[in-house]
Structure 1
Amino acid sequence: MAGYQFGFLLEQSLGHVTHTKNLLTNVALDPEVHAHWGLIDFEATGIAGRIPVYRSNWTVRAGVRARREVARINRLTRLDALFFHTQVPAVFAQSWLRKIPGIVSLDATPLQYDELGAFYKHEQGPAWLENWKWRLNRDCFRSARRLVAWAEWTKLGLVRDYEVPADKITVIPPGVNVHEWRRPTPRVPHADPVKILFVGGDLERKGGLMLLEAYRALRHLGLELHLVTKDRLAPEPGVFVYNGLQANSQPLKDLYHTCDIFALPTFGDCLPMVLSEAGASAMGIISTDVAGIPEIVRNGETGLTVPAGDAASLTQALRDLATNPALRMTLGERAMAHVTRHYDAPTNASLLLDLLKAEANTARAEGLAVPTSRDAS
């Protein structure tokens, strides 16, 4: 059989939207793959916004929408494999995972997300509900042929907390299109003000408010602070706010290229894709030692990490990079090399497709029946 018919069911919330855009671009580069896209919207509007449970529970909403999307695609073609990102839309679509070879990708396990939950305004339910949720997710991970983890941190959580064999998990970070984010010219020392860049929709969760305080303590050094966020801020000297920049847009890339330091002192994140963008742009990076971040920002090697919520350490790290251009550029060059090697989206999309092809080929060799029904129970 020539070519592969793959279904992609992708959660559309937070940084997963940017991940989707990168996959749409890079999967299309493989002539063997015929991709069918099911984009699972987060919002519940209209009639859906008035249905109890459905409107308030993202897992239920995502699962119902994913099942419908797979059924729609399956009416159009004979699918060779399914790819779910994240596990949220896959949990209530396990009947499809048992019929069509499937891979489930995730940035964090539900238990890891619970650990960061306070920063996402996420609350845990009663014990019986959390136990039921754990079993559902464990069964989902069992139903998938393979799992893709965004970080070694994620893989550890799957093995430790969900009984997943380590050899079933492949670590493939999301990445960015590195060639598009590279600066057109190398960075060199300059006499202009050193510019600090922050990119994060949720200013508070991402540490932007603490960054503002650190900046104010260092403003006398002649620095500038550039904030790309959805939040509005009152004007103040040396602070520039951008509320309308779109992900992957050229104006956003230009801002990365003109700024010197990328600061994301986040309180709660799994693996922010903006760090890959900063690394590809050869910026001196400062972030926190949260979740999978130390895998991309290796302290003292590809950037600097500080404890989350430690304003004094953040201020010192900013001072170190702002006043030491040689250190800033050395860390930036190492970050660029590290991101190019491990976080390049076209390369990593090819790795994902290789996994899907391998599962499709195995299913063909085993003579597994591809579903002929036009729906799943």
Structure 2
Amino acid sequence: VGRAKNALHRRTYAIAKGVLSFSRFTKRSLVEEYGVPDASVHVVWPSVDTTLWRPAPEKKPRDGVVRLLFVGGDLGRKGGKLLLRWARETRRKGWHLDLVTSTPFEAPPGVRVHVGMQPNSPELIGLAQAADLFVLPTMADMSSWAIAEAKAAGLAVVSTPAGGVGELVRDGVDGHIVPVGDYAALANTLDALVQRPDTLEAMGLEARRMAEAHMDLDTTCSRMLAFIRQVTGV
């Protein structure tokens, strides 16, 4: 069955004039596993409306509390349980975690759970604009629109290199990458960052710059259309 599926995929890709991929990770798979010519694959990262998802300094409480944000419907796969373990075990003070997910549960002190928030809702955007750090220690993923939204809102990001997610964060520049499933690395990174609000602010500025350059929806759509015209000759 696996060989038959591989052959079908190869035949499909072979007749395509071009392929759009949401990550370099996927592009490598197309080129190395399915024989798609490198020049035939155009990478476009997850993109958002950067006029909607934007920083709003006036919404930050400025009360000395570092606010963390997690957004992930599947709490386990997205690494939310590791983040909750940190919230229970850390000895650091002066932080608050907003956790957006699909199922309600009893949260530890310092954590507020939000269920039923809609994509691009004012409530969700407001949480991002009030936050200082976005944390998505995902265990398995291909890419992440939530990271694109967070960076557009001017947040530093902590995530993992799962799938193509690691491409969206420049380690040490606009966030940090920790190994998949490595609780100790995640905990040490968060413990350090919640004590460095100035570092988070500087990383947030870099995150917004990257979002404007590479994750703006209008720009991405224009690049996609240009690629389609190029390969089709239309």
Same fold flag (TM > 0.5): yes
Conserved 8 A contact 1:296-1:339: no
Distance between the aligned counterparts of 2:197 and 2:20, measured in 1? 38
Distance between the aligned counterparts of 1:248 and 1:135, measured in 2? 39
Distance between the aligned counterparts of 1:184 and 1:326, measured in 2? 17
Conserved 8 A contact 1:219-1:238: no
Matched, 1:272 2:138: no
Deviation of residue 217 (structure 1)? 2.0
Distance between the aligned counterparts of 1:229 and 1:214, measured in 2? 17
Corresponding residue for residue 286 of structure 1:
158
Paired AA for residue 146 in structure 1: G
- Tell me the C-alpha RMSD between the 2 structures: 1.8
Query: Which entry has the higher C-alpha Rg, 1 or 2?
Result: 1
Corresponding residue for residue 135 of structure 1:
7
Of residues 98, 111, 135, the one that matches 1:226 is 98
Distance between the aligned counterparts of 2:59 and 2:123, measured in 1? 18
Q: Which runs of 5+ in 2 are unaligned?
A: none
- Deviations 1:216-242 (CA, angstroms, capped at 9, x unpaired): 222650321111000221143221111
Distance between the aligned counterparts of 2:144 and 2:153, measured in 1? 15
Deviation of residue 186 (structure 1)? 7.2
1:140-219 equivalent positions in 2, closer than 5 A: 140-185=12-57, 190-218=62-90
CA 1:150–1:235 in structure 2 vs 1: closer, same or farther (change >3 Å)? closer
Distance between the aligned counterparts of 2:46 and 2:9, measured in 1? 22
Paired AA for residue 292 in structure 1: G
Q: Which runs of 5+ in 1 are unaligned?
A: 1-128, 363-377
Q: Secondary structure at the match of 1:181?
A: coil
Deviation of residue 172 (structure 1)? 1.4
Of residues 256, 263, 269, the one that matches 2:128 is 256
Distance between the aligned counterparts of 1:275 and 1:340, measured in 2? 13
Corresponding residue for residue 320 of structure 1:
192
TM-score (norm 1): 0.59
Paired AA for residue 253 in structure 1: I
Distance between the aligned counterparts of 1:311 and 1:253, measured in 2? 28
Q: Secondary structure at the match of 2:203?
A: helix
- Deviations 1:284-343 (CA, angstroms, capped at 9, x unpaired): 210012221221111111210100111111111111211001111111111111111111
- Deviations 1:140-159 (CA, angstroms, capped at 9, x unpaired): 11121101111112111111
* Comparing 211-220 and 300-309, the one that deviates more: 211-220
Deviation of residue 185 (structure 1)? 2.9
Distance between the aligned counterparts of 2:67 and 2:209, measured in 1? 22
CA 1:335–1:199 in structure 2 vs 1: closer, same or farther (change >3 Å)? same
Corresponding residue for residue 77 of structure 1:
none
Corresponding residue for residue 173 of structure 2:
301
- Deviations 1:159-210 (CA, angstroms, capped at 9, x unpaired): 1110111011111123111121112337989334211110000000000011
Paired AA for residue 152 in structure 1: R
Name which structure has the greater RCO, CA cutoff 8 Å, separation 6+.
2
Distance between the aligned counterparts of 2:183 and 2:78, measured in 1? 13
Distance between the aligned counterparts of 1:193 and 1:244, measured in 2? 25
Conserved 8 A contact 1:148-1:170: yes
Paired AA for residue 229 in structure 2: K
Distance between the aligned counterparts of 2:70 and 2:43, measured in 1? 27
Q: How many residues align?
A: 234
Runs of 4+ deviating beyond 4 Å: 186-189
Distance between the aligned counterparts of 1:359 and 1:299, measured in 2? 34
TM-score (norm 2): 0.94
Distance between the aligned counterparts of 1:337 and 1:259, measured in 2? 17
